[in-house]
C-alpha cells in the first residue's frame, strides 16, 4: 500500500498544473457533449422539483457545447459562471477575517494554548471530532479548521500534512453526519418525504430520522480517522523536514495572555451583537415570514460572514492586547496580505467554475446518475445488497456531482420507493445516502475546496501537488468507505433504530 501511495503521489505530481488539467477537462467535455448529443442520449425519470416541492416526471437530453446555443453560452457566460461560483466569495470573505487573526498572532497563540490544554494522545481525535461536527457552520471547517490542524501538528513536532489530512478527512469525508441537526437535514428530509409519498401518501419521516445512526457514525469515524492518521499517514510521511518554523516555546508570554483576554472580550461582544440581530422576535436575521432561526434563514445564510467578523474583531483585539497591532492600518494590511495570498487559488477557481458550468450545461452528470440507478434496479438484488449497491452508486456519482442535495433530488425518487417495496425503511435509504455521499469528497477535484487544500499543503511542503493530497487522502477514502458501509449493513441487519 505504501508503494501504491508513493506511486499515486509521484504520478499525480507529474501531471500538468491544475489550471491546465481543468483546461483539458473542458476540452474533453466539449467533445463528449457533441458525441452524446449526436447519438441522441437521453433519460426519463421521476425527480424532485424544488420550485413546486413535488416529485414530477422529468426528461433530460444531452446538450452539445458545439451548437450555436452552446458556443454562445461558453462565450457569454464566463463572467457570470465565475460570479455564481459561491466558493470564491466564501473563501475571500472568510480569509479577510482569518487573515487578521493570523497576522496578529491570535491563531498561533490559540494553537499553542490548545496544545498545552489538550492531552497529547487526544490531540488528533479532538481535531477530527471538531472537524466532523463543523458542518453545522457550513464551509467553516474547510476554511478555518484544516489550516489550524496543520499548524497544531507542526507546533508539537508532528508532520503538518498529517494534521491537514486528518482535518480534511473529517470535514469532507464525514460531511453528512453530525451529533446535531444541521440545515442540510431539513432539505434532505423534505425530498425524502416527497419520494415516500409515491408509495405511501400517509407516511413521512422527520428531521431526527437518522439521529442515532449519525451519532454512531460520528463516534466510529472519529476513532477511525484518528487511527488512520496515526498508524498509516504519519508513518508514511516520516519526520517533518520542511522549512516552516516550529514554535520553540509552548508557554505563552504575558503579552499573549493579555491579547487572549482582549480577544475573548471581543468575541463576547461580537456574539452579543449577532444575538441581538437574531434572537428577538422580528430580528433581521430571522426568517422574514416564519421567524425561524435554523434552516433557510438569514442567520444560517450569513454564518460565514459572522465567522469572518468574529475572527476579524478577535484578531484586532488580540493584536491590541499583545501589542502586535497598533491600529486600523495594520488590520487593513493584514486583510490585503490574506487576499494577495489567494491570487493563485482565485485563478484556479476561475477555470474550475467554467468547467463545472460547462459540465452542468451538457447534462452528462444527470445522464450518468439516472443510468446507474436504472442498472441497479434491473439487477434484482435483495434488500441488503441493493442498499449496498446504492451506496456504491452514490460513491461513483459523487466524483462528478459533489452537491449533496442535487444528487439526492435525482436518487430519492428512484431508490426510496424501490427499497420501500422490498421492506426497507426510508430512514435506512437516507442513511445509506449519507454514507455514499461523503467519502469521495476528499479526492474529487470537483470539490470546490480541493484546490485550496493543495494550496495549504504547498505552504508546508514546497513540492506538494494534486498527487500529494490524493495520496494522503486515499487511505481515508478506502477505509471509511468499507467500514462505514459495514456499519450501515450491520445497523440494518440488527434492526437498530435509525433515529427518533
Residue 487 lies in a domain: yes
CA distances to 9, 53, 55, 190, 414 from 49, rounded to whole Å, are: 42, 6, 6, 11, 14
CA angle 398, 490, 447 (to 5 degrees): 15
Residue 218 lies in a domain: yes
User: What one-character DSSP code corresponds to residue 141?
Assistant: I
Domain span at residue 192 reads 2-494
Model pLDDT, residue 251 = 65
Model pLDDT, residue 474 = 92
Model pLDDT, residue 464 = 83
Cα gap 127→226, rounded to integer Å: 9
Q: Strands, E, within 401-459: which ranges? A: none
286 alpha-carbon distance from chain centroid: 25
Residue 128 lies in a domain: yes
Residue 351 lies in a domain: yes
Residue 288 lies in a domain: yes
Cα gap 459→243, rounded to integer Å: 10
- Kindly report the pTM of this predicted structure: 0.74
Cα gap 302→381, rounded to integer Å: 45
Please report the sign of the dihedral spanned by the C-alpha atoms of residue 157, residue 162, residue 164, residue 166: negative
Model pLDDT, residue 164 = 94
Cα gap 393→481, rounded to integer Å: 12
Cα gap 156→169, rounded to integer Å: 21
* Number of residues in the chain: 500
Task: Report DSSP letters for 40-56, one per residue.
Answer: T-EEEEEEEETTTTEEE
| Collapsed DSSP state (helix, strand, coil) of residue 61 | strand
Say how many CA atoms lie within 13 Å of 455 toward its Cβ.
19
Residue 499 lies in a domain: no
Q: Which residues of the chain have pLDDT under 50?
A: 248
Number of domains in the chain: 1
Task: Report DSSP letters for 355-399, one per residue.
Answer: HHHHHHHHTHHHHHHHHHHHHHHTT---HHHHHHHHHHHHHHHHT
pLDDT in tens, 73-124: 999 999 999 988 777 787 788 778 878 888 888 877 876 777 667 777 888 9
Residue 430 lies in a domain: yes
pLDDT in tens, 257-284: 899 999 999 999 999 999 999 999 889 9
Contact by Cβ (8 Å): 55, 198: yes
Residue 124 lies in a domain: yes
Cα gap 63→144, rounded to integer Å: 39
Phi and psi at residue 114, in whole multiples of 5°? -60, -45
422 alpha-carbon distance from chain centroid: 33
Model pLDDT, residue 227 = 96
Model pLDDT, residue 65 = 95
Closest listed residue to residue 71, CA positions, set 495, 361, 441: 361
Closest listed residue to residue 397, CA positions, set 344, 433, 451: 433
Amino acid at each position: 500500500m505504501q508503494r501504491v501511495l508513493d506511486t499515486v503521489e509521484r504520478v499525480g505530481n507529474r501531471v500538468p498544473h491544475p489550471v491546465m488539467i481543468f483546461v483539458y477537462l473542458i476540452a474533453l467535455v466539449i467533445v463528449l457533449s457533441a458525441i452524446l448529443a449526436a447519438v441522441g442520449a437521453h433519460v426519463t425519470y421521476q425527480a424532485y422539483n424544488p420550485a413546486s416541492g413535488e416529485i414530477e416526471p422529468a426528461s433530460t437530453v444531452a446538450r452539445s457545447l458545439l451548437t450555436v446555443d452552446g458556443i454562445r453560452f461558453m462565450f457569454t457566460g464566463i463572467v457570470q459562471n465565475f460570479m455564481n461560483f459561491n466558493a470564491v466569495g466564501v473563501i475571500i470573505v472568510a480569509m479577510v477575517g482569518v487573515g487578521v487573526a493570523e497576522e496578529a498572532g491570535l491563531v498561533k497563540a490559540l494553537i499553542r494554548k490548545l496544545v498545552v490544554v489538550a492531552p497529547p494522545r487526544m490531540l488528533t481525535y479532538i481535531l477530527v471530532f471538531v472537524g466532523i461536527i463543523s458542518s453545522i457552520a457550513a464551509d467553516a471547517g474547510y476554511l478555518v479548521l484544516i489550516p489550524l490542524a496543520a499548524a497544531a501538528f507542526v507546533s508539537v513536532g508532528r508532520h503538518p500534512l498529517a494534521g491537514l489530512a486528518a482535518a480534511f478527512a473529517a470535514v469532507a469525508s464525514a460531511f453528512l453526519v453530525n451529533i446535531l441537526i444541521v440545515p442540510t437535514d431539513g432539505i434532505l428530509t423534505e425530498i425524502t418525504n416527497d419520494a415516500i409519498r409515491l408509495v405511501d401518501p400517509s407516511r413521512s419521516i422527520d428531521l431526527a430520522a437518522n439521529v442515532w445512526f449519525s451519532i454512531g457514525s460520528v463516534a466510529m469515524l472519529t476513532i477511525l480517522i484518528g487511527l488512520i492518521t496515526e498508524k498509516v499517514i504519519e508513518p508514511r510521511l516520516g519526520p517533518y523536514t520542511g522549512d516552516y518554523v516550529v514554535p520553540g516555546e509552548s508557554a505563552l508570554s504575558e503579552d499573549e495572555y493579555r491579547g487572549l483576554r482582549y480577544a475573548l472580550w471581543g468575541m463576547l461582544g461580537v456574539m452579543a451583537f449577532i444575538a441581538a440581530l437574531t434572537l428577538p422576535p422580528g430580528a433581521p436575521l430571522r426568517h422574514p415570514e416564519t421567524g425561524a432561526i435554523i434552516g433557510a434563514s438569514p442567520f444560517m445564510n450569513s454564518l460565514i460572514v459572522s465567522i469572518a467578523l468574529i475572527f476579524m474583531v478577535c484578531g484586532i483585539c488580540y493584536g491590541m492586547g499583545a501589542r502586535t497591532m497598533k491600529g486600523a492600518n495594520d488590520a487593513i494590511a493584514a486583510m490585503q496580505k490574506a487576499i494577495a495570498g489567494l491570487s493563485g487559488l482565485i485563478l484556479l477557481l476561475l477555470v474550475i467554475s467554467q468547467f463545472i458550468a460547462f459540465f452542468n450545461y451538457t447534462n452528462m452528470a444527470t445522464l450518468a446518475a439516472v443510468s446507474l440507478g436504472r442498472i441497479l434496479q434491473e439487477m434484482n438484488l435483495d434488500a441488503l445488497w441493493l442498499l449496498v449497491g446504492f451506496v456504491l452508486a452514490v460513491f461513483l456519482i459523487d466524483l462528478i456531482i459533489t452537491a449533496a442535495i442535487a444528487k439526492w433530488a435525482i436518487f430519492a425518487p428512484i431508490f426510496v420507493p424501490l427499497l420501500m417495496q422490498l421492506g426497507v425503511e426510508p430512514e435506512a435509504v437516507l442513511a445509506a445516502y449519507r454514507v455514499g455521499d461523503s467519502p469521495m469528497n476528499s479526492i474529487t477535484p470537483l470539490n470546490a475546496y480541493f484546490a485550496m487544500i493543495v494550496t495549504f499543503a504547498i505552504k508546508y511542503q514546497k513540492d506538494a501537488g494534486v498527487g500529494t493530497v490524493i495520496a494522503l487522502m486515499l487511505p481515508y477514502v478506502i477505509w471509511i468507505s468499507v467500514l462505514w458501509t459495514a456499519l450501515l449493513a450491520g445497523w440494518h441487519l440488527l434492526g437498530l433504530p435509525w433515529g427518533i
